[in-house]
Copies of this chain bind each other. A is one copy, B any other.
Amino acid sequence: MIHEPTHKDILQSASRIFNHIHKTPILTSRLINKICGANLFFKCENLQKVGAFKFRGASNAVLTLDKNYRANGVATHSSGNHAAALALSAKNNGIKSFIVMPSNAPIQKKNAVQEYGAKIIYCKPTLEARESTLEKVVEETGAVFIHPYNNHIVIAGQATCAMEIFNDISNLDYLIAPVGGGGLLSGTCLSAKYISPSTKVIGAEPEGADDAYRSIRDGKIYPSVEPKTICDGLRTSLGVKTFSILNKYVYEIITVPDKATINAMRLIWERMKIIVEPSSAIVLAAVIQNKSKFANKKVGLILSGGNVDLNNLPF
């Protein structure tokens, strides 16, 4: 898809992936509303397949794969949720997948990807090694590279999450999503634009990895250089396609210190009884850090994923 996803593209994506994904619940917490002085609606993509919204975009990409390329399979480089999402989606559709992972990726992520039947190709833990290894894999196998976020089909898939929110909850004043590479946030912006234009879409980003904040402020893409944050899903840079969408439609990027994110993460675990990763909890931290802005507002929050190492919790 060479054009920015249209309303029709997102609707088609939603019906395409409908039978393959979970329609995740939207939860509320009286106590957290009281703490924040706002009316919050938590969209639980941590309860999505593979434990992250990434399964939406990956499924959309796999299901629209050109027939001539199906036999060759799909490929990506990722040590995180996109790797697992692409591997599972490919497996479910009888398609091969090749995942380039850094050799130092956490063992449980390697295991998950392997379990989903992907062929893992290890490389040195640098961006250069990942990209050059991927290039070689694509050349040798003819597999189609599915970029984790800088891909309109993937963005249209992620947009279905906000679409589900707008279908269930009307008149949201704000909708907050985390921003790393910007796939989820740009999909969220597009769905808001088409379905609920009065809802302001906000990105939440770690202070120690504030490249999206600076990119939107200055109107040009800054790469994410030496990001320092516990939010392992939010260390990447914006892509040309996600930047282009965010630059037009995002209302604001709020940066959040990791300490507030860790506190919010614990609050969600203790009070909502769901497991979220730091990259998810940041959206609640953004509200708690900016209470006056959200006072008495109706706010949607996308909890993007729940993949954490239970033996290595930050609290």
Q: Which residues from chain A sit less than 8 Å from chain B, CB to CB?
A: 22, 25, 27-28, 30-31, 46-47, 49, 51, 115, 266, 269-276, 306-307, 310, 313, 315
Contacts and interface: CB of A to CB of B under 8 A. Distances in A.
Given A47-B272, A266-B310, 11 more contacts: A22-B28, A30-B49, A46-B273, A269-B310, A270-B310, A273-B274, A274-B274, A274-B275, A275-B275, A310-B313, A310-B315
Nearest to A276: B273
B273 A51 contact: yes
A278 to B, nearest CB: 14
B47 A274 contact: yes
Contacts of A306: 273
A92 to B, nearest CB: 9
Nearest to A26: B25
Contacts of A27: 22, 47
Contacts of A307: 273
Nearest to A34: B115
Contacts of A275: 269, 273-275
